[in-house]
Amino acid sequence: MSSVATQQADTHSGAHEEETGLWSWITTVDHKRIAIMYFVTATIFFFVGGVEAMIMRFQLMNPEQSLISAELYNQLFTMHGTTMIFLVAMPMAVAFFNYVVPLQIGARDVAFPRLNALSYWIFLFGGLYLNASWLFAAAPNASWVGYATLTSSQFSPGVNVDFWFISLSILGIASIAGGVNFITTIVNMRAPGMKLMRMPLFTWMTFVTSFLLITAIPVIAVALIFLGFDRLFGTVFFDPGMGGDPVLWQHLFWIFGHPEVYILILPAFGVISDVIPTFSKKPLFGYPIVVYAGILIGFIGWGVWSHHMFTVGLGPIADSFFVAATMIIAIPTGVKIFNWIATMWGGSIRFTTAMLFSIGLLAVFTVGGLSGIMHASAPVNLQQHDTYFVVAHFHYVIVGGAMMGLWAGLYYWFPKASGRFLNETLGKWHFWTTMIGFNLTFFPMHFSGMFGMPRRIYTYSADLNVAIYNQLATIGAVIFAISAVIMVWNLVQSWRKGEKAPADPWGAPHLEWSIPSPPHHYNFPELPTVRSREPLWNDGEREEILAVTMGEATEEPHMPNPSYWPILLAASITLAWALVMTGVWWVIALGIIPVFFCTLMWGLEPAFPEDH
Amino acid sequence: MFALARGGAVLLLLLLAACGTEYPQNSLSPHSDFAETIHQLYVSIFWWTMFILAVVWVLLAWVVVKFRAREGDEKPRQIRGHLGLEIGWTVGPALIVIAIAIPTIQAVFATQRPVSEDAMTVEVTGHRFWWEFHYPEQGITTANELVLPVDRPVNLRLGSPDVIHSFWVPKLGGKRDANPTVAVRDGEEPKYNWLFFTPQETGYFYGQCAEFCGESHAFMAMRVLVETEEDFEAWADRWRESPGALPPSGPEQPEDETELEMAGMPVQADEPDELEVGDEDPLVAMGRDVFLNQATCLACHAIEGTSAQGDRGPNLTLFGERTTLASGILENNPENLAAWIKDPWAFKPAAAMPGVDYDMQGTAGFWPATELSDEQVRAVSAYLLSLK
């Protein structure tokens, strides 16, 4: 694989200018452009999910309101959850995998550039397909966990659940392909000297996350296929009347669902493990421990799924096992937090926006982690499960953890991607409005949950006396929405006319900062040789990192051809899945033909320019 | 640091606001042994987590203030780790986790112990979107308001004929799912979930379905009335006395002296005085006639002692004693009841009940509009409210 990147093309006449038209973006296989497309798409979906959340917050602002119908509310919370997990948090992390990992390991692209493009297009089409359900007033309405038997054709006779299981099946393909791609890239395409234990933490966490992706996604794929067969072809996997078991769905879903939590959080841990050392001017404290803790979290993450199921009635022995496993996972997480604090200890901390978001993550993610310990205790969970306390908990983990980490990464790597800084003043406004809005939205939910407000309810009785907490949450949500607008304003403004950024604007230690901002489409003119964990920080040994001084390549490196087969194959896969909704076997069979055709043409297409 | 200060301030304010307010569905106000066990465990874990949070936040605030970049900073010492510290902050949290896990696992077994011999069983069935309570020992079936005697252990057997529901009455303990009952071979026992607890105080408790069960999940509440043993037995006797039947032809309705004593005066005092015994309101008589002979009510509803023996919908015996209607979402009074009978979907979309002028079409089947006149609706509600 690495030979791909080291091949040198024959001399071209003059410097090869990158194409910039729409067609060049549609056919691109450049990991950096794909990353930008991932980020922009995920940000747009972030606003879609955010609007859904805002409507819900206004519906819940006062007790016994009916601004919208119960049915619409149920569609909104289902779509909000599905969107934020599958179309925002995951792909936004993948955007960073794409941009950063090849640069951090000194590679010219990912291992399978066309597969990478395919992942993006499948993600886009899957997301559009899911949201197309709004046009039919048939958005999924059985919650993002889609528990059987509510999703059966008996209790959900419309196409709502069909949209849900089909789009998740489509999106899963993108995730698995992405996982395979990044594992291969990280295993095979590291620059000389980039041993595993010299990799930056972000690359490490991408590596762990990719393993979680390729192992967890197939489990939900199986569950979704069972569900599809139950709904369309009359099988009875989850039909209790025929001896099927609805609890089976919950096991399958959470065997996927809990590793999914770590799929969301580990990339953020990776980001701040790179950001905190840079802005503390100190190497990461306890690097091997932080790496092992991440791997351990990934592993143990497989053995805790039933802590989502303490109310299901699995019996005291199963409950005790999952209590123990869940509590054990708190230990490596705690270790990481102490290591990050120790990294800052004795450092010289610069409060850039990226650093603020990292510190913010430490402050608020801890709250989510600790409320997690509360409901890891099975008996306590019996009170907290499916209440707003849990809603508070997982928003502290996913927004306060995953999203804060990714926003830290945004401010950190934006200069690399655009050649311009994000405006720091706007950035600080973004950070503080996020902190205030986020905490004001979700902290009161601990109280409403404790005082008896279940989640997934369209409205609540005035008797419960939880209106005040809901009103605070709604005000907080407005502030949080403003923070998102500030972020996008900053992105747009800074992309066009932000302050120019040099190659290494932060004095950061890793390879991505050794090349110009933005990088050449071939990244590294020559492959760097790595001798340490912080290649750019080795005072006196700077000559060992040849890439630092690299400008233009004298010869254009041999890069893969652009291709329109990824977008066509993605479209045909989406079409094939969409036809599943008909439930007619021969229509479904016909739908597979374009998939075969596009795959064949893909296979016949030369991946590289022909040799002269 | 600002985060810390603000978080602390918000916490304090909310705690102050929380004091002195009545939360009928409060999970922090135990009124049974089960709830008490959970609460004690919760309180101990709460303090452990507050301790950890304080350590992390204080450390973080200290580091952020103390080590901020200043003019003329030297390059910091490049420390890569410290084995002792790593061991320390692995072992420390591990010990805390053990301190939490041991009482947790003890409580797991304590709250799922085998059924005690003297316990009273109630079969709880979650329906879309209401609760059915069947007392096999007493032969009683009621809906949405569970009546329990104080200080007697109770075993709730939880099941569902449709989707997953979750039985949750926070002051009496944690929730447990009412799973759809999986079909088994002949001779095998279907698997049910159980909840065991002993109510320790009389009272009126709020509860609600806690597992999303479809369109009107938010409207699937319930009440639990914990009464003295005497009141409970009196209630059970009244239920069996079949108050819904036609009144005897004589002007006097027979009253059992001893029973009256057992029932206690409050029950009698609560009765509206315009309904003199034996002097039946003609509206009630009309309502009975509509309910039993004209409309299709009895296809789904049962009233003990009458020809209404439907089992698809809530059993309405002693309906007049209920404090709420439509599974805990409306106060039980004539106006609400009439409005509900006319247009149930206005209060509970997709409820399995037709309106006066619309059919019920849904997963529960098809029932045509009742086509009752306003007067008939008032009559039916008067009849139902007379069932006490």
Structure tokens at A511: 């390879």
b/e per residue B84-108 (b: at least 16 CB within 10 A): ebbeebbebbbebbeebbebbbebb
> How does residue B275 score in pLDDT terms, banded at 50, 70 and 90?
very low
Contact B67 A242 (CB under 8 A): no
Which chain A residues contact residue B82 at CB under 8 A? Answer: 285-286, 342
- Using the Cβ of B21 and the Cβ atoms of chain A, whether some distance falls under 8 Å is answered with yes
CB contact at 8 A, A38 and A123: yes
SS3 assignment for B235-292 = HHHHHHCCCCCCCCCCCCCCCCHHHHHHHCHHHHHHCCCCCCCCCCCHHHHHHHHHHH
pLDDT at B6: 61
CA distance B282 to chain A (A): 35
Q: Contact A506/A416 with Cβ under 8 angstroms?
A: no
Q: What is the pLDDT of residues A204-220, one digit of tens each?
A: 999 999 999 999 999 99
Query: How high is the pLDDT of residue A390?
Result: 97
Contact A588, A576 (CB under 8 A): yes
Q: State percent of chain A over pLDDT 70.
A: 94
Q: Does B20 touch chain A (CB under 8 A)?
A: no
CB under 8 Å to A586, separation ≥6 — which residues?
Answer: none
pLDDT at residue B257 above 50?
A: no
Q: Which residue has the higher pLDDT, B187 or B20?
A: B187
3-state helix, strand, coil in chain A (%, to 5): 70, 0, 30
Closest CA to A244 of A259, A261, A231: A231
Mean pLDDT score of chain A, rounded to an integer? 92
- pLDDT of amino acid B318: 93
**Strand, helix or coil for residue A301:** helix
Model confidence band, residue A356 (pLDDT cutoffs 50, 70, 90)? very high
User: Is the predicted pLDDT of residue A44 greater than 80, yes or no?
Assistant: yes
- Residue B86 to residue A70, Cβ atoms within 8 A: no
Ramachandran class of A174: left when φ > 0, alpha when ψ lies in -120 to 50, beta otherwise:
alpha
Cβ contact B237:B270 at 8 Å: no
Distance between CA atoms of A562 and A445, rounded to whole angstroms? 49
The C-alpha of A361 sits at a distance from chain B's nearest C-alpha, in angstroms, of 11
Q: In which element (H, E) is residue B360 found? A: strand B360-362
Torsion (CA) B318, B323, B327, B333 in degrees, nearest 10: 90
- How many cross-chain Cβ pairs, A to B, lie less than 8 Å apart? 308
pLDDT of residue B360: 86
Instruction: Give the least confident one: A195-209, A212-226, A387-401, B60-74.
Output: B60-74
Tell if the CB–CB gap between B184 and A280 is shorter than 8 Å.
no
Query: A370, B27: Cβ pair inside 8 Å?
Result: no
Over chain B, what is the mean pLDDT? 87
- Spell out the residues 6+ positions from residue B33 whose beta carbon is closer than 8 angstroms to its own: B197, B198, B200
- The DSSP code sequence of A318-340 is HHHHHHHHHHHHHHHHHHHHHHH
- Specify the pLDDT at position B10: 63
Q: Shortest CB distance from B221 goes to which of A312, A338, A461?
A: A461
Residue A56 with chain B: CB contacts under 8 Å = none
User: Closest partner residue to B38 among A157, A342, A380, by Cβ?
Assistant: A380
Q: Are A375 and A385 in contact (CB under 8 A)?
A: yes
pLDDT of residue A12: 39
Q: Is the model's pLDDT at A161 over the cut of 70?
A: yes
Residue B287 dihedral angles phi and psi, to the nearest 5°:
-60, -40
**Contact call for A348 and B70, based on CB within 8 A:** yes
- The distance of B57 to chain A (nearest Cα, Å) reads 7
- To probe the interface with A, which of B37, B80, B158 has the most A CB atoms within 10 Å? B80
Tell me the mean pLDDT in the region B212-234. Answer: 96
- Chain A 286-315, residues with CB within 8 Å of chain B CB atoms: 286-289, 311-313, 315
CA A64 to chain centroid, in Å, comes to 35
* B47 in reach of chain A (CB within 8 A): no
A248 touches B: beta carbon within 8 Å: no
pLDDT at residue B255, as a whole number: 46
- A residues 125-154 near B, CB within 8 Å? 141-143, 147, 149-150, 154
| Amino acid identity at B92 | G
Q: Return the minimum-mean-pLDDT range out of A76-80, A195-199, B1-5, B332-336.
A: B1-5
The least confident of A74-88, A176-190, B164-178, B364-378 is B364-378
Residue A540 has pLDDT above 60, yes or no: no
**End-to-end CA, chain B:** 62
Tens of pLDDT, residues A586-601 = 999 999 999 999 999 9
- Contact residues on chain B for A457, CB-CB shorter than 8 A: 208, 217-218
| Residue A551: per-residue pLDDT | 58
Beta bridge partner(s), residue B221:
B208
Token readout for A520 is 């050449």
- Tell me the C-alpha distance between B349 and B223, whole Å: 21
Judge: A460–B162 Cβ closer than 8 Å, yes or no: no
Contact A363 B57 (CB under 8 A): yes
pLDDT reading at A231 higher than 90: yes
- Rounded to whole angstroms, the Cα distance separating B214 from B319 reads 26
Whether the per-residue pLDDT at A17 is higher than 70: the answer is no
| Contact between chains at B67 and A149 (C-beta distance less than 8 A) | no
User: Using CB atoms and an 8 Å cut-off, which of residues 315-334 of chain B contact chain A?
Assistant: 329
Q: What residue in A sits closest to B70 (Cα-Cα)?
A: A348
Task: Identify which of B22, B85, B208 has the shortest CB distance to residue A454.
Answer: B208
Does the CA dihedral A366-A372-A377-A381 come out positive or negative?
positive
Closest approach of chain A CAs to the CA of B319, in angstroms?
A: 22
What is the C-alpha separation between A210 and A204, in angstroms, rounded?
10
Note whether B224 contacts A: Cβ–Cβ < 8 A: no
d(CA A59, CA A51): 12
Of the candidates A610, A602, A512, the one whose C-alpha atom is nearest the C-alpha of residue A117 is: A602
- Report the alpha-carbon distance of residue A565 to residue A26 in Å, rounded: 10
Q: Which residue of A has its CA nearest to B5?
A: A363
CA dist., res. B134 & res. B302, Å (int): 13
Q: How far is B275 from chain A (nearest CA, A)?
A: 31
Residue B280, pLDDT score:
77
What mean pLDDT do residues B292-311 have? 90
Centre a 10 Å sphere on the Cβ of residue B30 and count the other Cβ atoms it contains.
23
Query: By mean pLDDT, which of A271-285, A338-352, A475-489, A501-515 is the weakest?
Result: A501-515
A158 interfacial to chain B (CB closer than 8 Å): no
Closest C-alpha among A49, A227, A209, A32 to residue A127: A49
A177, two tokens: 């392909």
| pLDDT tens-digit map of B325-349 | 999 999 999 999 999 999 999 999 9
- Token readout for A103 is 């640069």
Q: Answer yes or no: do B17 and A244 touch at CB < 8 A.
A: no
- The reply to whether residue A244 touches residue B76, judged by beta carbons under 8 angstroms, is no
CB atoms A452 and B206 under 8 Å: yes
Secondary structure of residue A562 in the 3-state scheme: coil
pLDDT at A557: 78
Taking CA–CA distances from B71, the nearest residue in chain A reads A348
pLDDT confidence tier of residue B247, bands split at 50, 70 and 90: low
Contact indicator for B209, B221 with CB cutoff of 8 Å: yes
Helix, strand counts (H, E) of chain A: 19, 0
Retrieve residue A465's tokens: 């006396």
What's the confidence (pLDDT) of residue A608?
A: 78
Q: What is the average per-residue pLDDT within B315-333?
A: 94
Which value does ipTM take for this structure? 0.91
If residue A444 lies in a helix (H) or strand (E), which one and from where to where? helix A424-450
Segment A112-153, tens digit of pLDDT: 999 999 999 999 999 999 999 999 999 999 999 999 999 999
- What token pair was written down for A60? 């819940």
Q: Does A428 touch chain B (CB under 8 A)?
A: no
Q: Is B78 helix (H, G, I), strand (E, B) or coil?
A: coil
Taking the Cβ of residue B204 and every Cβ of chain A, the question of whether any pair is shorter than 8 Å is answered with no
Does B99 contact chain A (CB < 8 Å)? Answer: no
- Could you give the domains of chain B? 120-182+190-233 (2.60.40.420), 264-385 (2.60.40.420)
Q: Please give the residue of chain B at the shortest CA–CA distance from A362.
A: B60
Task: Check B208 against A452: CB less than 8 A apart.
Answer: yes
Q: What's the gap between Cα A44 and its chain centre?
A: 14
Q: How far is CA A141 from the centre of its chain?
A: 23
- Report the C-alpha dihedral over residues A501, A502, A508, A512, rounded to 10 degrees: 100
* Statement: residue B288 has pLDDT above 80: yes
3-state secondary structure of B309: strand
Measured CA to CA, the distance from residue A569 to residue A574 in angstroms comes to 9
Give the chain A residue whose CA is nearest to the CA of B49: A370
pLDDT of residue A550: 57
A545, pLDDT greater than 60: no
On chain A, the residues whose CB falls within 8 A of the CB of B97 are 327-328, 330-331, 373
CA B311 to chain A, closest CA, distance in angstroms equals 19
Across the interface, whether the CB atoms of B6 and A157 are under 8 A apart is answered no
| Contact B183/A at CB under 8 A | yes
**Which pair of structure tokens corresponds to residue B81?**
């780790």
pLDDT band at B5 (very low <50, low <70, confident <90, very high): low
- Read off the pLDDT of each residue in B47-57 and give the average, rounded to a whole number: 96
What 3-state DSSP class applies to B127?
strand
Q: Reduce the DSSP state of residue B156 to 3 states and report it.
A: strand
Which residue pairs, CB below 8 angstroms and at least 24 apart, start in A19-25? Answer: A24/A562
How many CB atoms are closer than 10 A to CB A17? 7
A434 touches chain B (CB under 8 A): no
Query: For residues A480 and B235, what is the distance between their CA atoms, to the nearest angstrom?
Result: 53
Residue B338 neighbours by CB under 8 Å, 6+ apart? B377, B378, B381
Predicted confidence (pLDDT) per residue in B133-148, tens digit? 999 999 999 999 999 9
Q: Is 70 exceeded by the pLDDT of residue B3?
A: no
Chain B residues in contact with A442 by the CB 8 A cut-off are none
> Of the candidates A7, A187, A165, A166, which has an alpha carbon nearest to the alpha carbon of residue A111?
A187
pLDDT of residue B4: 53
Q: Which residues of A touch B60 (CB under 8 A)?
A: 341, 359, 362-363
Cβ–Cβ contact A374 with B under 8 A? yes
- Which residues have C-beta within 8 Å of that of residue A571, sequence separation ≥ 6? A121, A125
Tell whether B70 lies on the interface with A, counting CB pairs under 8 A.
yes
Please determine, for residue B351, whether its predicted confidence score (pLDDT) is greater than 70.
Answer: yes
Average pLDDT over residues B175-195: 92
Distance CA B191, CA B205 (A): 28
pLDDT of residue A53: 97
**Angle value at C-alpha B207, between B206 and B208, nearest 5 degrees:** 140
Element at B130 (helix H, strand E): strand B130-135
Tell whether the model's pLDDT for residue B68 goes beyond 50: yes
C-alpha–C-alpha distance, residues A96 and B339, integer Å = 57
Say if strands B145-149 and B221-227 run parallel, antiparallel, or are unpaired: parallel
Distance from CA of B341 to the nearest CA of A (A): 20
pLDDT for A20: 80
Distance CA A127, CA A86 (A): 8
Mean pLDDT value across residues A569-585: 94
| A469/B14 touch (CB, cutoff 8 Å), yes or no | yes
- Nearest neighbour of B23 by CB, restricted to A320, A350, A451: A451
User: What is d(CA A11, CA A546) in angstroms, rounded to the nearest whole number?
Assistant: 22
Task: Write the pLDDT tens digit of every residue in A274-315.
Answer: 999 999 999 999 999 999 999 999 999 999 999 999 999 999
Q: Which of A511, A530, A590, A583 is nearest to A233 (CA)?
A: A583
Express each pLDDT in B100-135 by its tens digit: 999 999 999 999 887 777 899 999 999 999 999 999
Cβ contacts of residue A104 below 8 Å, gap of 6+?
A199, A200, A202, A203, A510, A511, A512
Q: Which residue has the higher pLDDT, A426 or A533?
A: A426
The amino acid at residue B344 is P
